[in-house]
Amino acid sequence: MQPKKTLLVIYYSVTGGTEQMARALIKGVKDAAIEDTLVAKIKLAPETLPEDVLTASAYVFATPENLGAVSGLMKDFFDRCYYPALDKINGRPYATLICAGSDGQNAARQIERITTGWRLRAVADPLIVCTHAQTAEAILSPKTISAEDILRCEALGSLMANGLALGVF
């Protein structure tokens, strides 16, 4: 029997939208019913250590887009873990979840640039959920991700689980 692979979901969320997306992705992993081959872990970005990154087989980075960029605490995670992981995780697969108020494209580009430096391999296009929050009140209010978008996150979780279990990536 092969050792279990680990999918590490690193997220940060202030208003709950990104957390809902990350947890839906985890549900999709669990629904894929491949517990014998895969372990899914979810961690807040500020609590994620270089050791977590080094021992994972694949990653999902989930962040809100703040002022056209990844959240500061997600960027802090990338900064803290970069040098300890450099050249030790090359080629590992990753996917991205972004909860945005407008389009999320800048955060997606930022993660793509960071993961290029980390030498990771994207296995899916960034999954961006747009909440259309544009006023201070809407931006700061708790978010509820639509059922349709939750299903998209679950599907990405299933894709990640099956891809890892089958050795596709």
Query: What rounded mean pLDDT belongs to the chain?
Result: 95
Predicted confidence at residue 1, as pLDDT, reads: 55
Which runs of consecutive H residues, i.e. helices, occur in the chain? Answer: 17-31, 50-55, 72-85, 105-118, 136-140, 147-165
Q: Which amino acid is at 34?
A: I
pLDDT tens for 125-169 read: 999 999 999 999 999 999 999 999 999 999 999 999 999 988 898
pLDDT tens for 48-71 read: 999 999 999 999 999 999 999 999
Please give the model's pTM, rounded to 2 decimal places: 0.96
pLDDT tens for 69-111 read: 999 999 999 999 999 999 999 999 999 999 999 899 999 999 9
Nearest to 104 by CA among 63, 134, 145, 143: 63
| Whole-number Å distance between alpha carbons of 31 and 165 | 13
Per domain, the residue ranges of the chain are 5-165
Predicted confidence at residue 2, as pLDDT, reads: 64
| Whole-number Å distance between alpha carbons of 94 and 9 | 9
Predicted confidence at residue 32, as pLDDT, reads: 85
Superfamily of domain covering 5-165: Flavodoxin domain (3.40.50.360)
Predicted confidence at residue 97, as pLDDT, reads: 98
Predicted confidence at residue 36, as pLDDT, reads: 74
| Whole-number Å distance between alpha carbons of 58 and 60 | 7
